[in-house]
Amino acid sequence: MTAEDRFRAYIQAFNASDWDKLRDYYAPDVRLVIGNGTELNGRDAIIDFYGKVKSQTRRTIEIVQCFADGHTLAAEIESEFLAIEDAPDFAVRPMAKGDRYYLNSFVFYDFESTLYTRIRAATFRREFRPVAA
């Protein structure tokens, strides 16, 4: 399986909220850094973070493009967050039920063998679409 194929399977697991499968993609000491200042260390911290996000919103990720070179994969991804409940403390901004938030992000995934060891994401574009609009 290529790094690109593995990444597509990883995102498929993410979209399915298959946390057990998702965990298998991370090195035990994986580090996730998001450009907004969020930094998570370890599999459990990442799974917990995504679990909370998905308890408040339905997040779907679409891969715009991905390619790997050596031990790093670069990806452009589009995320849609659909609030399934009012989420005043949502990680990105306060959301009301039905609001949608879109992010276009550039992400680097460093990997060793089949495990992601470091993930870093920066937001290129963002768009908020309130339910009332």
Partner 1 sequence: MSIAPAGLRCWFEAYLAAFNRADFPAFGAYYADDIDFHGQAAQLVGREAVLAFYHKVRSYLNERVELIGFVGAPDGNRIAAELHTTLLALRDWPDMPTGAMRAGDTRMRVSFAMYDIAGGHFTRIRTARFSPAERQAT
Minimum distance from residue 90 beta carbon to partner 1 (Å): 21
The region of 44-52, 66-74, 80-88, 94-102 touching partner 1 under the rule CB under 8 A is: 66-74
Q: What is the contact mask toward partner 1 in residues 90 to 109, using x (rule: CB under 8 A)?
A: ---------------xxxx-
Q: Which amino acid is at 44?
A: D
How many whole angstroms separate alpha carbon 71 and alpha carbon 64? Answer: 20
Is residue 124 involved in binding partner 1 (CB under 8 A)?
yes
In this chain, which of 39, 41, 102, 122 binds partner 1, going by CB under 8 A?
122
Query: H or E stretch including 21?
Result: helix 19-23
Q: How far is the CB of 128 from partner 1 (least distance, A)?
A: 17
CB of 104 to partner 1, least distance (A): 8
In this structure, which long-range contacts are made by residues 100-104, counting pairs with CB atoms below 8 Å and at least 24 apart in sequence?
Answer: 100/128, 100/129, 100/131, 101/57, 101/126, 101/127, 101/128, 101/129, 102/78, 102/126, 102/127, 102/128, 102/129, 103/78, 103/79, 104/64, 104/76, 104/77, 104/78
Among 16, 28, 67, 85, binds partner 1 (CB under 8 A): 67
Interface positions with partner 1 (CB under 8 A): 35, 37, 65, 67-70, 72-74, 76, 105-108, 120, 122-124
